[in-house]
A and B are shown apart, each in its own frame.
Chain A
């Protein structure tokens, strides 16, 4: 087998991309935990750690560019590197939404929650399982799995709408709920965007596997 050095570099890069994905998943999980338990320390840590994710994203992008420039990859290798460059950007933006969720925790502070959190943890759970699935599909170069995962974005969108309706009702019932209800709407928005970005990753998985650009879940 020739091109051992390119193989090794691509493999190392892929592991790092996946590592970044895991870090993003952790960030979202911790952000949700901070919201549920109103743990301001944890929320601050999530916001602070976002800097590290940004740094890793730029470092990975630089490695992609370096391999493009020095190895002149073609076909699958070229598609993989092009996809990595997009995926790390998507992952970094997902992390921004995780940090956004943690910022909601900080905005709500110690004020008692106006409702028990049910749908927001549910949305988080789906978004995280989508991300795990997308990373797995990337590992396996599995376009079918990528398509299936992207379909779950509809579940997240439905929960997002449901949360909005519920929060509107709470605001109408008692104007004192408006401030926190608005924050929770933003929390839901962050999760909805997070899941959208997972579908972008799924599109890149399809591109790597088939060479075709396919837009997933355009209705959402």
Chain B
């Protein structure tokens, strides 16, 4: 296991010997990893390596899966999010998530973004905040005239994904988790999302799971490589993709795996 701790004095998320099981099946094995603030961290690895489980562990999404069990700790700004007094709903507000397939609600564009705000009892100017979130998701110009007229379903796949990002951003999360956010999108829509992530990373910490290595190389500052539930290598993206230290990382990223 190779670390590059020197640049990470204040990790937003600190994963400490985190293991996870679905029933008897162990999917993560004592993973330790620091997620640096206001950077993009990519998690890569072959199917079934545990990358989705790991990213879902960051906001306790796995809790909803029957038979899920975890050991070790994930500290969010020093607080163990698996600790006894932690409210998962509050964690999920501060650590937002966007999924593989865009999942807008069958409501107007405005209501899609306003939803999380209403649930969280937002008391400010709803209109302004919705516009702010849509602008940050680089969607405002394309939808500003149809906010109430069009449903989230009327948008293209790429727009729907940006709508989901706007919905996640509306509640001002500190961390944005994205699980394969572009796998259902064409290259142009993918490029827009990637540009957007770079923009957002100056104010939000981003963790992205992707099976597209070129995407990880293009968009991320740090890359973690998982294999069979184990963290094999973690470091600055430019190093992982030009001179990986572990032969297993080399085999995977050069496509000579298995």
Interfacial residues, chain A to chain B (CB-CB below 8 A): 1-3, 6, 72-79, 210-212
Contacts and interface: CB of A to CB of B under 8 A. Distances in A.
B242 A1 contact: no
Nearest to A79: B242
A74 B243 contact: no
Interface size, B (range):
10 to 19
B212 to A, nearest CB: 10
B196 interface: no
Given A211-B242, A211-B243, A74 B217 contact: yes
B250 interface: yes
A74 B253 contact: yes
B66 interface: no
A60 B258 CA distance: 30
Contacts of B253: 74-75
B214 A75 contact: no
Interface string B234-258: 0000000111100001100111111
A72 B213 CA distance: 10
A74 B217 CA distance: 10
A75 B257 contact: no
Given A72-B214, A75-B253, A78-B241, 12 more contacts: A2-B255, A6-B255, A73-B254, A74-B217, A74-B241, A74-B254, A74-B255, A75-B242, A75-B254, A76-B250, A210-B243, A212-B243
Contact of B241 (A1, A3, A75, A210): A75
A2 B258 contact: yes
Contact of B256 (A1, A72, A79, A210): A1
A77 B242 CA distance: 9
Contacts of B217: 74
A212 B214 CA distance: 22
> Looking at A1, A6, A76, which has the most chain B CB atoms within 10 Å of its CB?
A76
Nearest to A1: B256
Contacts of A77: 254
Nearest to B255: A3
